[in-house]
Structure 1
Amino acid sequence: MAGRVTIAQVAEEAGVSAMTVSNVMNGKPGASEGTRRRVTEVADRLGYRPNVAARNLKAGRSGLVGLIALDLTSQYGLEILRGVADELASAEQELLVNASYHDAVREKDRVEFLGRGLVDGMLMIAPVLEDETVALLRRQTVPCVIIDPRRMDVPLPRLSVDNYHGMRLGTQHLIDLGHTRIAYLRGLDELESTSIRFQGFQDAMRLAGLDVDERLVASCDFSYASGFRAAMRLIDDHQPTAIVAGADLLALGAVDAARAHGLSVPADFSVVGFDDLPQAAQSFPGLTTVRQPLHDMGQKAARALLSLIDGQRLLMEHMEVGTELVVRNSTAPPAAARPDPAMPHRLDANQADPEGGARRASANR
């Protein structure tokens, strides 16, 4: 059929009213199962697709959701973005992506721009959120959900990961293997999640009766290079047997720092990360890490925003998702604690799997 197929053409072919076709195509009740089947078959045969723009205009909506990310280069942000995009696609919402690139002024400008009625709702990934921007978001009528906020005191709907229990789980794994000299690579100090993860590390150590040696703690900026440099210094000066890092990229830097010292991972040195980015499974050895369900976080935040757009209230303003430990091949008991190689002993399942098949232990509340 030439040209754009109209709702009237579908109605005439199916022998029903245009209103019935509209109700069927929009999933509204009222039509019998036979009528629904006939309308759907005719629409498919003629190639009819509802005019989403017209529908949104009638409903007083744009059909757009705005997203402001801290940057568009990190695998962390891209994994969350994938989850957001997948959820919005299923709801026939389009995504308008912006980046602030760690610039608080640019971030506020983007919030102001999107809040002029251009979008139906906003999502922000790890925003700077200065007080002026928070006040602006609260004044605007456009709903907003914050993903992984830098501050937990923001009076807006927000979603974060269970950083505390996740880091306790990763640290406890090393303790259970027999490590006592465990170094820690912190992330950016201005992030509240950095402090929460560090508290999880400290509590796991102290509950095991181990001292937290401040000389074994280094602040980093979440990059591979920062993790490499910090781990080089720690191994040079203090000889830990293991490192737990506040991010996978830091952990991967630590793995290479250990190798630069002639240490084998995990035979001589163990490393645990936090994120479970794709690189964690692709590295050699596979990186033991605490998984943040980044894709799920994006989907859950998008679902919450769609509920707000529809005028619903959220059951809770602060939503939290759990973490899990993924054990691969970057961790093992410290060399001094291993059985004599001359003595027969049985390999556990993880050691016996050269591909580093993942065991998982839940860390949900």
Structure 2
Amino acid sequence: MNFLERNIKADVTRFFQPLIDEAYFEDKTIIEYDLGIGNVGNIPEFDEIIKEIVEESFPKLLIRCHKYPGTQGYLPLNELLADIYQKKSGFSIKPEDIILTIGGSDAITELIQIYCSHDEGIVYALPSFPYWGMTAKANAKEYYIVITSQKEFNESFPSKLEETLTINPNIRLLLINFPNNPVGYNGAEQTCKEINEICAKHKVKILFDDIYGGLAEWRIKLFDPKNLFIIDSFSKRFAMPGLRLGFIIAPTNEMKNIRPFIANQYVGPSLISILVGYEIVKRLAEKDKLDFVFKKIKLRKETLNNELKKLKIKTEETFGMYVIIDFTDTDLNARDVYNKLLKEKIRTVPYDLFYPPFYKGTKRNFIRLSVGMEPNVKQGSQKLVKIINELL
């Protein structure tokens, strides 16, 4: 399969919101309850904060857009991000250790391109967010470790990782995501330490997708900062995926590999996105509301979990903003359940979108629920539970 064919097969645009107008979101005859989409929003108090920031800052933003942004970032924003992460992790992080990118996905793609040549690869767990589109763009080989639960991750992921890296010495990167999308596991402390040791032994660098890092006990500080690349963005933490603003926090000695490569790929993220991002972080820090969005998401998740207790089938405890309902031990096909819920104006996400289109292995039979965009989680989950219980 050539580069073009791999990219076509790995097209992940089906995973995201289609290009539609605002009326779609307001028309409840189409979708009444959105318990599927992975965006974060519909938080009125936060929207007011953003409105205030934009109204005060936008005039001065426009007059600064006559400059190219560059990959050096924007020093005031880099300083804020470095300070936030340094306080959380205890690592020594300098502003120059941060590179601003066009979203978190682009950050991952660039790192794969830098550290994996055409015969080298990356390993990550399935089911997952569609990282395969990023590896296809980077034209790297990819390897999977199938994990279906929190228990399985902690009990078997380190041994499976050791086996995979031993058999495939061409693997250069491990990509992990805690709390995981979609399964919702968060590695136990001992598991993380074992992963760290295994990667050091095999000289494999760790890419840590930290986009949900404030929704569970934080694990980054358990890893060696000299072998760790942290990827984050404004999409979830600050409920602003439309900014397309992400960042890489890399070991200082790796910057000589990263910055020149990215500088030759593109000039940098939109300067408006960078300046708006800076104003958002600065104002939220001043108001002591840096974790405001994630606090709201946690409350929605508690509401969802309480309603799901009324299901006739048991759901697993998960971390983060997602829950999966597994139909493996029933006669139901998750795709059929998804279609039934959609007819009843409830959006969820079916299991097959969390596996590459060219994946031939066994796929877990589930739907994923999200509390990211739905303000009426209680009513939506009550309706969902009623429909599924009637199907069982």
TM-score (norm 2): 0.31
Question: Per residue, is there more helix in 1 or in 2?
Answer: 2
Bigger Rg, which one: 1
The structure whose RCO (Cα within 8 Å, separation 6+) is larger is 2
TM-score (norm 1): 0.33
